[in-house]
């Protein structure tokens, strides 16, 4: 197995931290990136350093705020200067909100897109010149089963942003293949326990409209939606399975990595719908004479 230099965004907690630790345990050099490393996240930086020492793993931290172009460029430059190269990017940074779509202001929608979509774009623009130059690399995108599976109410801004991120990842995959850069979209289901996703979710700014929904025909629907999601999840659902699947994909040989991997204990149907959509995508590329873009090219 090759040892890679890997950057994970949004790695202060949740899937990001689990993934960074698992990849480091597997023998890779991993940069758990996060914002405010000397401020709000200073305790996480110390915890990561202590964990790395205890487990004799090469897990490092680096400052990278995906909402800042300058921070993304500086973070990528730091990793390349520190490690000498960069092989894998795990696009994990994201944030969830919960509430009636109408009660979110346009600025709140912009914030969702900024973190979940533009954050990945900033990191790509900083890192891809390096990956293209070395002729080999891997992008792992943390998607969501919500983009094609069951979509319970009151998660519209988050679902819309994750759908946009998925579409971006799909387009990038064929635009990077001939540069020798692979793409894997990891599709977790709705893990309601074991991550901070739901606990740290944002709320609508327009409290008046929220109250109108809660006092009207949608009274109790939000609570039923959350309880319903939780009830679909098997008792033994383990969010660290997502991290293990990312390790498995990273450790696979070049050219053999899957385009999409579903980790969805609740089985909300995303795997079935994605299977059809991805097959149609392959057929279209064949029909327009661009089938070679569906497979990463060995460069150099």
Q: Provide, rounded to the nearest whole percent, the portion of the chain with pLDDT above 90.
A: 80
Backbone φ/ψ region at 31: left (φ over 0), alpha (ψ -120 to 50), beta:
beta
- Of the listed 31, 158, 172, 213, which one is catalytic? 158
Active site residue 158: yes
* Residue range 88-105, pLDDT digits in tens: 999 999 888 999 999 999
The pLDDT, as a whole number, for residue 125 is 98
Token pair recorded at residue 6: 């890997």
* Residue range 36-83, pLDDT digits in tens: 999 999 999 999 999 999 999 999 999 999 999 999 999 999 999 999
The three-point CA angle 135-140-141 to 5° equals: 130
> 3-class SS at 206?
coil
* Residue range 127-180, pLDDT digits in tens: 999 999 999 999 999 999 888 877 789 999 999 999 999 999 999 999 999 999
The per-type count for the chain, helices as H runs and strands as E runs, is 10, 7
pLDDT at 193 over 70: no
Nearest to 66 by CA among 136, 9, 151: 9
Banded pLDDT at 265 (limits 50, 70, 90) = confident
- Distance, in Å, from the CA atom of 200 to the CA atom of 97, rounded to the nearest integer, reads 8
pLDDT at 181 over 60: yes
């Amino acid at each position: 197995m090759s040892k890679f230099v890997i950057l994970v965004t949004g790695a202060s907690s949740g899937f990001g931290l689990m993934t960074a630790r698992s990849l480091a345990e597997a023998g890779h050099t991993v940069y758990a990136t996060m914002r405010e490393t000397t401020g709000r996240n200073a305790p996480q930086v110390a915890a990561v350093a202590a964990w790395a020492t205890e487990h004799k793993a090469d897990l490092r931290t680096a400052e990278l705020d995906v909402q800042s172009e300058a921070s993304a460029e500086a973070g990528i430059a730091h990793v390349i200067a520190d490690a000498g190269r960069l092989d894998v990017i795990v696009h994990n940074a994201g944030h969830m909100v919960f509430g009636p779509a109408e009660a979110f202001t346009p600025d709140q929608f912009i914030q969702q897109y900024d973190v979940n979509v533009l954050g990945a774009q900033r990191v790509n623009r900083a890192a891809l010149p390096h990956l293209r130059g070395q002729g080999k690399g891997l992008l792992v995108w943390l998607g969501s089963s919500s983009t094609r599976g069951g979509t319970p109410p009151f998660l519209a801004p988050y679902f819309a942003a994750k759908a946009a991120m998925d579409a971006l990842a799909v387009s990038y995959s064929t635009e990077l293949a001939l540069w020798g850069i692979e793409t894997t979209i990891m599709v977790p289901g709705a893990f309601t326990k074991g991550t901070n996703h739901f606990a740290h979710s944002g709320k609508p700014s327009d409290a008046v409209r929220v109250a109108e929904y809660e006092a009207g025909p949608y009274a109790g629907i939000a609570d039923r939606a959350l309880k319903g999601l939780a009830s679909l999840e098997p008792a033994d659902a383990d969010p660290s399975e997502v991290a293990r699947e990312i390790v498995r994909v990273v450790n696979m040989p070049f050219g053999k990595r899957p385009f999409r991997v579903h980790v969805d204990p609740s089985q909300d149907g995303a795997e079935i719908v994605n299977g059809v959509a991805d097959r149609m995508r392959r057929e279209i590329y064949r029909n327009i004479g661009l089938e070679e873009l569906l497979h990463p090219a060995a460069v150099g």
